[in-house]
Chains A and B, each alone.
Chain A
Amino acid sequence: MTAATKTIPQQAEEFLSHPDFAEVQRVVRNAPPRYRNEMGKYSIHRASTCVSCGKCVEICQYGVHTKPEGYRQVIRPFDYKCIGPECEKSGRFCIANCPQHALSLDENPVFKTLGDCRWTPDLLASNWIMAETGRQPPKHLESQTGNSGGGFDRLRFVFPDKIPSGLRREDISTELLLNKRKNDSRPKIKIDVPWYGGGMSFGSTNIRAQLAKVRAAKAWNTFSCTGEGGYPERFIPYKDYMITQVATGLFGVREETIQRARIVEFKYAQGAKPGLGGHLLGDKNTPAVAAMREAVVGTSLFSPFPFHSVYSIEDHKKHLDWIAHVNRTALLSAKVSTPNDVEMVAVGSYCAGAHIVHMDGSYGGTGAAPNIAKKNIAMPIEYAISNVHQFLVAEGVRDEVTLIVSGGIRNPWDIAKAIAMGADGVVMGTAELVALGCIRCGCCESGRGCARGICTTDDELLQLLTVDWCTQRLINLHTAFRECLVDILYRLGIESVAALRGRTDVLMHLDYQNDKDRKQ
């Protein structure tokens, strides 16, 4: 029996005894939502006058209407797939074509209540569809920008009128070199896409979601990250794709977990809550979580800020030297937030020997981060990127640092913008959770955790996810992201992600555009 035909085991012991389960392929397969009635932008109502003639099933191109074999009646529409009134132009609009006039179309009132200005309902739905299909999101959704009124949401690409000739989509490289240091004996690790997965700890996130994250990372030759809750043994088959995080609480960090990783990440701070360490409230600290962290069941675990052993740059260097001593081949990444002097932090991390400087801006963070911190402390990542990029260029060390950014990177457009502003690549956190069905309700931290089973440690809620489904959703998401990114590069006539870095000339900011217009 091959791994492909047998479902992925959920239990640790089973997992370790079948290494072939660790195999995973970069193949898109449809991964429909977990719930029968996924929320979409539109709702379609079928009146009782329907006679199940099947006309709608016949004409709908999007799979909204189906009549499964053996069914006498057309079943309830999958209206989340509907593209809305736009469809009318296609001539295959079910509403117009229903002989009984039994169908009606409305905007879904529930849909509008989802998300927030940053993660608009359209962005959530776009992500879900990418995760389901592995393709670019449909046009009826605003899939490129949110509604925050600033930052990425006001930035646009300026595409040339004509696509430069000679460039083929299949020749565009999305590879990212993670070790740019010269005279450095550590491996020159490359990943296939310019992003990797953010750290989410065992304790904060469903182990199945964590497993899926790293499996998808393996399929796409990129990385996921343990977060600070320890290194469950179930991850070992994927150790080449798992970053070991050393965070301020040092929970679950042991020499073997440092030694098995190809990248070790120091979490100094989080953009969502600079000045605070990780938070795991008591309810989520179940016996399994407490055992992994060797702490007391049911107590809230607050990691300190900063590292108690690091109060200065030379302490930081010593800290990096320590991990470099324990693991002789791993790349070192320093995850920092974005204070006012972020450029000094970045150059300091580089000086101390970090291969990757990971800046986490202010838009990220789950429900566990206090709102007061999330919304008020760190610098938005867009500012930090250009600051740091320009500073590193001026210092003459830009080409020896891999600058990774995170904190509110939602979609491939954000990724491309971040890179054009000067980052080498990004880390995605929330976007992966959304692909697994997160609706951004912000209740990740308390009680039993996530009602959708994503950020939970509750035995019952854990069952809401399967590793297989989550893996496929994430593989699909990565595939769709890459497709969009290649498309952007193609339209810009840029042959690689590496060549996009720092190309602010291909960006414009709507505010300044208006200024210019006003002046003219």
Chain B
Amino acid sequence: MNSPVSFDGAEALIRSRKDLRPQGDWFLAPPEEEGGCGVTGFACTIPVRGKHIYEPSIQMRNRGNGKGGGIAACGLAPEDFGVSRSVLEEDYCLQVALLDSNARGEVEKEAIAPYFTIDQGGIIPTVKDFRDVPLLQVRPPDVARYFVRVKQDVLQKFAEEKKLTGLAPREIEDEFVFQNSSKLNNKFYASLGEKRAFVLSHARNLIILKVVGFAEAVVQYYCLEDSRAHVWIAHQRYPTRGRVWHPGGCHPFIGMNEALVHNGDFANYHSVCEYLAQRNLFPQFLTDTEASIMLFDLMNRAYKYPVEYIIESLAPTTELDFDRLPEEKQRVYKEIQAAQIHASPDGPWFFIIARNLMEKGFQLLGITDTAMLRPQVFALQEGEVSIGLICSEKQAIDATLASLAREDSRFSPIADMYWNARGGSSTDGGAFLLNVVPSGNGHNGTSPDYTLNVTNKFGQQVKTRPGQTHCDFSRPVTIPSSKDADAAVISRAMEQNNPQALYEHVRENTHTMDYNRLRWFASEIATRCAKDAPAFGIQALSLAIDRRYPTGDKKRSSVVATLRGGLETIFRSQPAIGGEGASTCRRITFDTRAMLRGPQEGETTLLVDATGFQPEGSECDAYLAVDAYKLGWRHIIHYNSRGTRFHAAGFGPATDGLRIDCYDNPGDYLGSGIDGLEAYVHGNAQDQLCQISKRGKVVVYGDVGQTFLYGAKGGDIYVMGNAAGRPMINAVGKPKVVINGTALDFLAESFMAGDPLTGGGFAIVNGLRVEDNGDIVALDLPYPGSNLLSLASGGAIYVRDPNRTLISEQLNGGMFGRFTNEDWKLILPYLQENERLFDIGIERDLLTVKGIARKPAAVYRKVMPKSKTADAETEEVGE
């Protein structure tokens, strides 16, 4: 295990830093306060332009307050930065922010010229006047960038003085650069009251820039729109202090060859700092983000932990998750926890780290705290070019992809996969590494080809379905030979007004269609329905988007993009709210929002194009929808949403008869407080769905985020996929929920929903995965977390668990009750509706286990609050 050499190395490195200790009681300084923030990042097999980090940043502007933004780029395109590939790869790119423009000379004289050979250096370009960048409140600092190597004699002396000669030359040089930056900051930033300059970054092939403003302003101000890099990360900061004059405290922060952005804050900042201080590391910017990257660098460079162990030391695996680890891992993890737990960040946090792994390529790493208290979404798109993304909110991912797809047809506007993970989990992968790996070629100064390799923290690979390709939407559509047959299907379904029949045709035939035929077919449906039967077209295409079925050699993401394009054509063809023309639908946009009026005769549906609307407040499309309802509209469709919050909320009591449909990326709090209305989410939903919902129905054709149904009183909710952490927490009354996937943790904690058999609430957890091709697969564990129905006093959870994997350790104050006929009668109607909505068959999928039809009581288990009178589950399974 610990070879003596590596141990000495760690010791030597730590000892060599003893001069970095500042004078006085440095650590008593309180951290700078900031709230959570918006973070985003992506890693791509080709270098992409800085402008693409724009869109996701804009999408998450409401997670920052314009008082701090930053970006990092890793795996740069040498020609865009004016250096040769070898300089880029071998030299350190030392970037110094000059808060005082006059400090440059002194900085160079004291901290650069004596030690470094400068291969290239100068002030990086900016726009002329910062006021031309509307998002900037404060002039960003000038940034001096130097591509440098440490002078040979300097390095030799350093190694001898610091007793580091046992390390590899590059390790010594890294350490010199690291310590030099620390000293530079001490001299020009931290210790003197005057703040004149600080090091933004000093890594190889990785840069960091930050401003007082929104993150997208960085790209604009420093003219990075057209500069390309493989990996980008960005951060919107939310400092709560009113006046901020320089971006020293903004993210990202630099480690050695990695940049970190962070959303959240630690409860144990002081404890982490003391741990670092004992190892001669001293935060200079007083933020927990800086402490985080110091921890990471310490474990990476000094202790040489493999990344899995670094992750374990940051987000320890606990409780049931720990018990589920293999014995050998438990042994290692236990040691790591013993050594590291007091430096493990406590509280809500979520890091995205961009790393230069040198010859191994580049890496983007996303990780949350053990309890996943911050939102986080991963996404993957694989094809001719591949890209992996990590964001706080899903709309930022889709915005990035849309931005990329607009200029490069190899990108698709929808990812192939989206998923969440919880830091300390042993079952969902915990954290994910997006590696951009060079594949041969390319040495000797030319760009290599790269592949994207995504793994979880255990090294298990995440892949999209093999043998499928994306659609090249830049190709024109030609009339396919199948034209007449397909057209006849459309005509027949339209005549019968039977959208289900048309959907079934798509379901049965998509796998044999080529992209051209599918695109023609979708556009044919759209053009024919647009005028005469928009409702029919919307229903048929929505069914085809919502459901899963075989797509043959085509990526589902491309199939969905195609169908969604047809839907867009129908939406666009509907008469505008102030315009002429008759239709059952009226379309309203941001520009025409003032013309909102009630429905006229024959009008049923208001289409709200969310483009341009704000995500919250009085200029939000969800706000407009409430006005529309008051004017008499009873069917409202929101589309092109980019994280709009509060959809289907705010309509007040007794809204029976109102239907809301949400496409694309509806945001948080959807369906909160509903009382009678029905809402349909055609895709994934985000956090805080259906908070305090009272009555009504919500259907989600995808996953839902954190704290779903918090404090709910009622409502019938159907989720095709998973719920993230803490669903149904503190719910009372009579909510009835079907979750076809699973939930991360704390499902129905403090559930108080009476007795389900006499009108109370319950949840059904089916523990299934609906695959992209429509296959329905049982998960290994229907519920992997702990704290199922913990501390509950009412309600019940029905878990489809034919293999009896749930154990009493997962309960906390609950019991397994006997699943009776009464229970089955209670849940059957909900499963029937579930079957109708998602095509998850009761006989075919739910009651069939490994090909054998079973009785409900052999498949479902009932978890209920502990009770002396209720029958406990018995061992024998009633067949």
Residue positions of A touching B, CB distance < 8 A: 248-251, 253-256, 258-259, 293-296, 299, 301-304, 308-309, 311-318, 321-322, 324-326, 328, 341, 344, 347-348, 351, 395-397
A396 contact set on B, CB distance < 8 A: 242-243
Nearest 5 Cβ contacts at the A-B interface: A313-B35, A250-B711, A312-B36, A294-B733, A395-B242
Q: Which of A254, A324, A395 contacts B694 (CB 8 A)?
A: A254
**B331 at interface, CB cutoff 8 A:** no
Chain B neighbourhood of A324, CB < 8 A: 617
Cβ contacts A to B, 10 pairs, < 8 Å: A255-B694, A256-B653, A293-B732, A302-B791, A313-B36, A314-B37, A321-B646, A347-B242, A395-B241, A397-B242
Whether B652 lies near A321 (C-beta < 8 A) is no
A251, A255, A303, A344: the one within 8 Å of B240 (CB) = A344
User: In the complex, which residues 703-756 of chain B have their Cβ closer than 8 Å to any Cβ of chain A?
Assistant: 706-707, 710-711, 713, 726, 729-730, 732-734, 750, 752-754
B425 contacts A by Cβ under 8 Å = no
Chain B hits for A302, CB < 8 A: 750, 791
Q: Decide if B620 touches A316 in the complex (CB within 8 Å).
A: no
Q: Contact: A341 with B794, CB < 8 Å?
A: no
Minimal Cβ-Cβ distance residue in A for B732: A294
Q: Is the CB of A304 within 8 A of B729?
A: yes
B814 CB to nearest chain A CB (Å): 14
CB nearest to A321 among chain B residues: B616
| Interchain nearest-CB distance for B65 vs A (Å) | 6
* B752, A294: Cβ atoms closer than 8 Å: yes
Query: Measured between C-beta atoms, what is the minimum distance from A393 to chain B in Å?
Result: 11
B649 within 8 A of A: yes
Cβ contact of A253, chosen from B348, B618, B650, B692, cutoff 8 A:
B692
Binds A, one of B669-677, B766-774, B780-788: B669-677
B517 within 8 A of partner (CB): no
**Which residues of A have CB within 8 Å of B62?**
314, 317-318
Flag whether B645 is at the interface (Cβ < 8 A).
Answer: yes
Query: A348 contacts which of B35, B672, B673, B692 (Cβ < 8 Å)?
Result: B35
Is B38 among interface residues, defined by CB-CB distance under 8 A? yes
Do the beta carbons of A255 and B651 come within 8 Å of each other?
A: yes
Write out the residue numbers on chain A whose beta carbons fall within 8 Å of the beta carbon of B344: none
Collect the chain B residues with CB atoms within 8 Å of residue A341's CB. 30, 33
Q: Is the CB of A321 within 8 A of B730?
A: no
Closest Cβ neighbor of B754 among chain A residues = A296
Extra contacts, 10 of them, besides A312-B37, A344-B33 (Cβ < 8 A), are A250-B730, A254-B713, A296-B754, A308-B730, A309-B706, A311-B36, A318-B62, A318-B616, A325-B646, A326-B646
- Cβ 8 A contact of A312, one of B30, B243, B264, B669: B264
Measured between beta carbons, the chain A residues less than 8 angstroms from B672 are: 322, 326
A317 CA to B62 CA, complexed, in Å: 9
Asked, given contacts A326-B649, A395-B242, whether A311 binds B668 with beta carbons under 8 Å apart, the answer is no
Query: CB within 8 A of A295: which of B264, B652, B669, B794?
Result: B794
Do the beta carbons of B668 and A250 come within 8 Å of each other? Answer: no
Chain B nearest CB, measured from A330 CB (Å): 12
**Contacting pair B63 A314 (CB below 8 A):** yes
CB distance from B709 to the nearest CB of A (A): 11
A201 CB, min distance to chain B CBs, angstroms = 14
**Chain A neighbourhood of B645, CB < 8 A:** 318, 321-322, 325
Partner of A256, one of B348, B652, B794: B652
B553 at the interface (CB under 8 A from A): no
Which of B30, B38, B732 sits near A314, CB closer than 8 Å? Answer: B38
Bound Cα distance A311, B622 (Å): 24
Is B297 engaged at the interface, CB distance under 8 Å to the other chain? no
Enumerate chain A residues within 8 angstroms of B63, measured Cβ to Cβ: 314
Inter-chain contacts of B652 with A (CB < 8 A): 255-256, 259
Q: A302-B750, A344-B240, A347-B242 are in contact. Are A308 and B710 (CB under 8 A)?
A: yes
Beta-carbon contact of B241 and A314 below 8 Å: no
Q: Is B691 an interface residue (CB 8 A)?
A: yes
* B residues less than 8 Å from A308 (CB atoms): 707, 710, 726, 729-730
**Complexed CA–CA distance, A326 and B688 (Å):** 15
Q: Is the CB of B650 within 8 A of A295?
A: no
Q: Are A318 and B669 neighbours in the complex by a CB distance under 8 Å?
A: yes
A250 touches B710 (CB 8 A): yes
Closest to A348 in B: B240
**Is B243 a contact of A258 with CB atoms below 8 Å?**
no
- A394, closest chain B residue (CB): B242
CA gap between A159 and B65 in the complex, in Å: 45
Contact (Cβ within 8 A) A322 B649:
yes
Give every chain A residue within 8 A of B707 (Cβ-Cβ). Answer: 308-309
In the assembled complex, the CB of A306 is this many whole angstroms from the nearest CB of chain B, namely: 10
Q: Which of A254, A321, A325 contacts B692 (CB 8 A)?
A: A254
| B:63-106 near A, CB below 8 Å | 63-65
A314 and B752 within 8 A (CB): no
In the complex, how many angstroms separate the beta carbon of B818 from the nearest chain A beta carbon? 20
Residues of A within 8 Å of B668, CB to CB, are 318
Residues of chain B lying within 8 A (CB to CB) of residue A251: 711, 732
Q: What residue of chain B has the Cβ atom nearest to residue A259's Cβ?
A: B652
- Report the separation of the CA atoms of residues A396 and B244 in the bound assembly, to the nearest whole angstrom: 13
Per-residue interface assignment for chain B, residues 137 to 158, with 1 indicating a CB less than 8 Å from any chain A CB and 0 otherwise? 0000000000000000000000
Determine whether B287 belongs to the interface, using a CB cutoff of 8 Å to chain A: no
Q: Contact partner of B650 among A255, A299, A312, CB < 8 A? A: A255
Structural contact, B265 and A325, CB atoms closer than 8 A? no
In the complex, B373 has a CB within 8 A of chain A:
yes
Q: Which residues of A contact B726 (CB under 8 A)?
A: 308
What is the CB-to-nearest-CB distance from A340 to chain B, in angstroms, rounded to a whole number?
8
Alpha-carbon separation in the docked complex, A322 to B794 (Å): 28
Nearest CB of A to B8, in Å: 42
Bound CA–CA A397/B754 (angstroms): 47
How close is A199's CB to chain B, nearest CB, in angstroms?
A: 17
In-complex Cβ contact of A254 among B65, B263, B673, B752 (8 A): B673
Chain B residues with CB below 8 A from A304, complex form: 729-730, 750
- Report B236-274 residues with CB < 8 Å from chain A CB: 238, 240-243, 263-265
Cβ-neighbour of A255 out of B348, B374, B653 (below 8 A): B653
Q: With contacts A294-B732, A296-B754, A325-B646 known, is A309 near B265, CB below 8 A?
A: no
B575 CB, min distance to chain A CBs, angstroms: 28
A309 close to B348 (CB less than 8 A): no
Asked if B308 is an interface residue, CB under 8 A from chain A, the answer is no
Query: How far apart are the CA atoms of A52 and B750 in the complex, in Å?
Result: 66
B20-66 interface (Cβ within 8 A of A): 30, 33-38, 62-65
A293 to B791, CA, bound (A): 17
Return B351 CB to nearest CB of chain A, in Å.
Answer: 14
Cα of A436 to Cα of B616 in the assembled complex, Å: 44
B707 nearest CB across to chain A (Å): 5
Q: Are B752 and A295 in contact (CB under 8 A)?
A: yes
Residues from chain B with a CB closer than 8 A to the CB of A303 are: 730
Nearest residue, chain B, Cβ from A308:
B707
Q: At the interface, yes or no: B623 with Cβ under 8 Å from chain A?
A: yes
Chain A residue nearest to B616 (CB atoms) is A321
CB nearest neighbor in B for A328: B618
**Assembly CA distance A341 to B675 (angstroms):** 39
CA distance A63 to B702 in the complex (A): 75
Known: A313-B35, A318-B668. A255 touches B675 (CB 8 A): yes
Determine whether the beta carbon of B650 is less than 8 Å from that of A296: no
Q: Does B687 contact A (CB under 8 A)?
A: yes
Contact with A along B594-631 (1 / 0, CB 8 A): 00000000000000000000001110101100000000
Give complex CA distance A364, B646 in Å. 35
Report yes or no: B38 in contact with A325, Cβ–Cβ below 8 A. no
Which residues of the partner chain B approach A259 to less than 8 Å between Cβ atoms?
652
- Could you tell me if A325 and B730 are in contact, using CB atoms closer than 8 angstroms? no
Is B834 engaged at the interface, CB distance under 8 Å to the other chain?
no
**Residue on A nearest B749 in the bound complex, by CB:** A304
Q: In the docked arrangement, what's the CA distance between A2 and B104, Å?
A: 83
**Nearest CB of chain B from residue A232's CB, rounded to whole Å:** 16
- Chain B positions within 8 Å of A318 at CB level: 62, 616, 645, 668-669, 688
| Chain A contacts for B374, CB-based, 8 A | 311-312
List of A residues within 8 angstroms of B37 by Cβ: 312, 314
Residue of A nearest to B371 (CB): A311
